Amino acid sequence: METEKFQYRHIGINAEDQKLMLAKIGVKSIDELIDQTIPQNIRLQGKLNLPEALSEHEYAEEMALMASKNRISASYIGMGWYDTVAPAPIIRNVFENPVWYTSYTPYQAEISQGRLEALMNFQTMVSDLTGLPLSNSSLLDESTAGAEAVTMMYALRSRDQIKNGANKVFVDQYIFPQTLAVIETRMKPQGIEVVIGSYREIALDNSYFAAVIQYPNSNGSVEDYAAFTEKAHSADCKVAVATDLMALALLTPPGDWGADIAFGSSQRFGIPMFYGGPSAGFFATKEEYKRNIPGRIIGVSKDAYGKAAYRMALQTREQHIKREKATSNICTAQALLATMAGFYAVYHGPKGLENIAKRIHSATALISDELKELGYICENEQYFDTLKVALPDGITQDMIHDMAEMRDINLRYFTTGEIGISIDETITEYKAHELLAVFAMAKGRMEVFMIDDLPEKCIIKEQFIRKSSYLQHEVYNLYHTETELMRYIKRLDRKDISLAHSMISLGSCTMKLNAASELLPLSLGGFQNIHPFAPESQTQGYTELIGELKEYLKEITGFADVSFQPNSGAAGEYAGLMTIRTYLESIGEGHRSIILIPASAHGTNPASAIQAGYETVTIACDELGNVNMEDLVSKAELHKSDLAGCMITYPSTHGIFEKEIKEMCKVVHDNGGQVYMDGANMNAQVGLTNPGFIGADVCHLNLHKTFAIPHGGGGPGEGPICVAEHLVPFLPHHPQTDGSTLNTVASAPYGSAGILPITYGYIRMMGADGLTNATKTAILNANYLAEALKDTYGIVYRGTTGRVGHELILECRNVKETSGITESDIAKRLMDYGYHAPTLSFPVHGTLMIEPTESESLAELNRFIETMNQIWEEIKEVENGVYSKEDNVLINAPHPEYEICADEWKHAYPRSKAAYPLDFVKNNKFWINVARIDNAYGDRNLISCLCDMG
């Protein structure tokens, strides 16, 4: 008897539903619909060569076995990753809670108040600990945050520096090697020279614009950078500091000694190491740089009735709007992990954090003292948690390594012969004893270290001791019991719409089911507690998983190899372009500098191309939304001698499978360029076509879209790149795995490796048939919605046969002309029905882009259609004068609970119309916390920290 297939749990449409939908669309079978949607010349003829689908139970057993192949050792490697105690109430109520992990980026602030408050907690925590007033709501990791810091300081050069061509950044030699590697990768195409040396010796002249230092540094040493910072500022150089939030609970924060930027990782604030990620990078700076800070800032504004409300501030910097003029290409951050880190600070509070930091430092001091007694030399005079230990005569690294292996202990082994030891919050008396025994045995001494307690000790000089307070806001001082924290988290999650509530119909973002069976393995210690630089002998489970997943993605995309290093889709775009760039340089074509980008391409493409050092040229689209072939041919030939490539999104962001896609690739190749295919819409290709077969040279995959990794309120993401054979040698390398820094784009060798089990599970449980059926169903659902809404709103673009792809663009511009109602009003009104808005005014201004995904049921699709039709009737009421343009349910939406329940009601329409517009809403009402938010007010009066709210 056949085990029930996972695909029938994942895909929301059953066989009977499908018949009804196909009849509505006007086709006899789903294959007929696919034939009308996807050009025949790019259709795959065979079935994907993937393993037979596993049941959910079989997958759980396989992952338990795979996790057991990763050996959990006591890790003292450090270098940006530390074992941590992830509080169980945060793991249980946030990390494993679909309300938190399936929500979307909080562009629609009124239904994202809980998440926005949690991210504001993170920002305030970062600002307090770094001593800098402005923080964003996370970056990808520490290394990319460092690169963003240099890019920002370059953009902030003075007029004289720009005039004089100042293009050098100084980076201290004792920064983490992976951070240096990423900075070098990112600066090269920008024409920025990275100068490495000692901060004590560097002479900063007018050719420099910035400096980057680490505090404590890679050796663990706490250095006095105050004089250096003053010297740098006198040379008109800004200073960015890589730092450790836990160390800053004890050490003087960088803001107090004049730093312009502080950045790093919040991993040790309750986030498991996950073999390198995900964990939230942080970035803080001075208030005057608010227009240049990369990423997203959470701010405070007011709603229509004056109530304070959170929102994403300064949103016009987003790359989808600014395109090639964006301050960065950041699209996905690490919002879920930032939320967890913020709750860690809330749970422990200032006193708790100080106690954790003191315990870490005290244990480090004890170990230092005992090592000195044994005859070892601790080279750090001042340290927080990390020792660099020189070995006495007769003791070698190999001897220490062998003794450490016997006790399941991982240490850092410097190429210069020293040993690195980084202590974390999991240290115990027993662990300290075991660690010291390694060094004692290497010397042939067998004494037992009687450590009954870790006595409090501080070796940090007074000049480095933190004097300023932190985390004084009440949120960090109220929720220190599990009961109170659990209730606080629940209060916040009730303010957010997620997939746990209703369909999120965002076009281009693919808010599909993130199945529990795919996510459960992430809670296994064998996946959580592995350092990214652990020996290969301890990471066999990850090695097996990554190797198999690579083969699956090669099969699905039609390419020769895969790199998992980019830890977001936009980072994948950048990595793919850098792979192309390096390849062109290798064949003597490094002068090629032009990237063609159709107007229908994904929004981050232009910003990524600029970051990779290219000049962008826009290709027009015709009135049907297709790439204008005449314009493509003309511009490709015009730039033939300098053409590096073309970035194509397929199907396009207009929701169309363009029939001339193979011809587009040929035009680019014939003119010397490479074809980059943006994989944002890969969920409309899987099993039916693929980028390699179409003719592309490289694509990135958004694993948080097509391959089921949750969005997490704006991250985590993972954006592996897949390439053709000739590009394989130029894929990202990593200094800790192969010693090469070629195209290093992330802190860890495999990016956010900890979430790869989700994609692995999606593929293994769906199998070839399930993946292909998912693609077909996504296209079916989109065409069903298009058919249902075409006679009211209208569909902006269709393919040559009249079909849309996996998404559709709803026409709303005509509505504004006749009623004054805008697409934004429709988006806000959807909240009253319990729905998140579709994608607003992108890629076409004045429209809504809808992507229903394959995991939604017919009942949910029909509810959404009923909602959109009811909103259409409400628009007609305004057009016909039933309600005025100044007072109607759309212009006043959303209607918060406090307004509905108020004693006074000022509107011409009844409360019931505002709150319960359809019967189904009464049974599952999502109560909104705030009325429509005044975005302009929030930008004019930026408040990005709880301490500024009064």
Q: What is the pLDDT of residues 607-622, one digit of tens each?
A: 899 999 999 999 999 9
Residue 599: per-residue pLDDT: 87
Q: Do residues 435 and 410 touch, judged by C-beta distance below 8 A?
A: no
**Mean confidence (pLDDT) of the chain:** 95
Amino acid 604: pLDDT: 86
Tokens of 381: 């005079």
Nearest to 326 by CA among 603, 134, 6: 603
Contacts of 34 (CB under 8 A, 6+ apart): 688, 776, 779
Instruction: Determine the residue type at 890.
Output: L
Residue 757, number of CB atoms within 10 A of its CB: 26
- The Cα 114–Cα 96 span in angstroms is 17
pLDDT at 947 over 90: no
Looking at 216-344, which runs of residues are DSSP E strands?
Answer: 238-244, 261-265, 281-285, 297-302, 308-313
Is residue 931 within 8 A of residue 303, CB to CB? The reply is yes
Tell me how far CA of residue 442 lies from CA of 386, 394, 427, in angstroms. Answer: 21, 9, 22
Q: Helices marked H in 69-176 — which ranges?
A: 88-90, 98-101, 113-130, 142-155, 159-164
* Among 820, 821, 827, 861, CA closest to 841: 827
Query: Where residue 309 falls among pLDDT bands split at 50, 70, 90?
Result: very high
Query: In angstroms, rounded to a whole number, what is the distance separating the alpha carbons of residues 401 and 403?
Result: 5
Cα of first residue to Cα of last residue in the chain, in angstroms, is 65
Percent of the chain at pLDDT exceeding 70: 97
pTM score above 0.95: yes
Q: Which residues of 610-631 are buried (b: 16+ CB within 10 A; e: fewer)?
A: bbbbbebbebebeeebbbbeeb
**CB 350 within 8 Å of CB 472:** yes
The string over 181-208, giving b where at least 16 C-beta atoms fall within 10 Å of a residue's C-beta and e elsewhere, is: bbbbbbbbbbebebebeebeebebeeeb
Q: Is 727 helix (H, G, I), strand (E, B) or coil?
A: helix
Give the mean model confidence (pLDDT) for residues 798-803. Answer: 93
Return the bridge partners of 212, or none. Answer: 171, 240
Average pLDDT of the segment spanning 256-268: 98
d(CA 854, CA 785): 12
State the pLDDT confidence band at 315, using cuts at 50, 70 and 90. low
The answer to whether 857 and 13 have CB atoms below 8 angstroms apart is yes
CA 690 to CA 665: how far, in whole Å? 13
> What are 109-124's pLDDT values in tens digits?
999 999 999 999 999 9
CB count within 10 Å of CB 429 equals 15
Report whether 636 contacts 624 (CB < 8 A): no
HSE-up of 801 (CA within 13 Å, CB side)? Answer: 19
Q: Which tokens in the block code for residue 299?
A: 């701010």
- Does residue 326 have a pLDDT over 90? no
Q: What is the pLDDT of residue 247?
A: 98
CA distances from 9 to 361, 420, 517, 867 (A): 50, 49, 11, 25
The pLDDT of residue 1 = 45
Which residues partner with 677 through β-bridges? 648, 699
pLDDT tens, residue by residue, 811-861: 999 998 889 999 999 999 999 999 999 999 888 999 999 999 999 999 999
- pLDDT tens for residues 425-459? 999 999 999 999 999 999 887 766 667 788 899 99
* Closest by CA position to 341, among listed 82, 167, 148, 609: 82
Span 394-427, pLDDT tens digits: 999 999 999 999 999 999 999 999 999 999 999 9
The answer, yes or no, to whether residue 500 has pLDDT greater than 50, is yes
For 43, other C-beta atoms within 10 Å of its C-beta total 12
3-state secondary structure of 879: helix
Secondary structure in 3-state letters for 322-371: HHHHCCCCCCCCCHHHHHHHHHHHHHHHHHHHHHHHHHHHHHHHHHHHHH
Mean pLDDT computed over 481-492: 98
Query: Using CA of residue 902, residue 905, residue 911, residue 915, what is the dihedral sign?
Result: negative
| Residue ranges with strand state E in 154-268 | 168-172, 193-197, 208-215, 238-244, 261-265
Read off the pLDDT of residues 188-215 as tens digits, 9 standing for 90 and up: 999 999 999 999 999 999 999 999 999 9
Strand order in the sheet with 847-850: 808-811, 847-850, 839-840
Whether the CB-CB separation of 186 and 744 falls below 8 Å is answered with no
Query: In the structure, what pLDDT confidence band is assigned to residue 938 with cuts at 50, 70 and 90?
Result: confident
Encode pLDDT of 16-65 as tens digits: 999 999 999 999 999 999 999 999 999 999 999 999 999 999 999 999 99
- The per-residue pLDDT for 945 is 76
Contact 334, 278 (CB under 8 A): yes
Type of residue numbered 380: N
Q: Mean pLDDT throughout 301-305?
A: 95
DSSP-derived secondary structure letter, 92: I
- In terms of Cβ atoms closer than 10 Å to its own Cβ (0-12, 13-18, 19+), residue 940 is exposed
C-alpha to C-alpha distance for 282 and 137, rounded to whole angstroms: 7
DSSP codes joined into one string, 550-567: HHHHHHHHT-SEEE----
The encoded tokens of residue 345 equal 């600070």
Q: How far apart are CA 87 and CA 348, in angstroms?
A: 10
Sign of the four-CA dihedral 921, 924, 929, 932: negative
Residue with tokens 């004693």: 903
pLDDT value of residue 93: 98
Burial of 642 (0-12, 13-18, 19+ CB in 10 A): middle
On the question of pLDDT at 798 being above 80, the answer is: yes
Interatomic CA distance for residues 615 and 443, integer angstroms: 61
Over range 864-886, report the average pLDDT.
Answer: 97
**3-state DSSP assignment of residue 420:** strand
Nearest-5° Cα angle at 500, 865 to 348 = 150
For residue 237, the model assigns a pLDDT of 98
pLDDT tens for 74-113 read 999 999 999 999 999 999 999 999 999 999 999 999 999 9
| Nearest 10 degrees: Cα torsion 906, 911, 915, 916 | -160
pLDDT of amino acid 316: 47
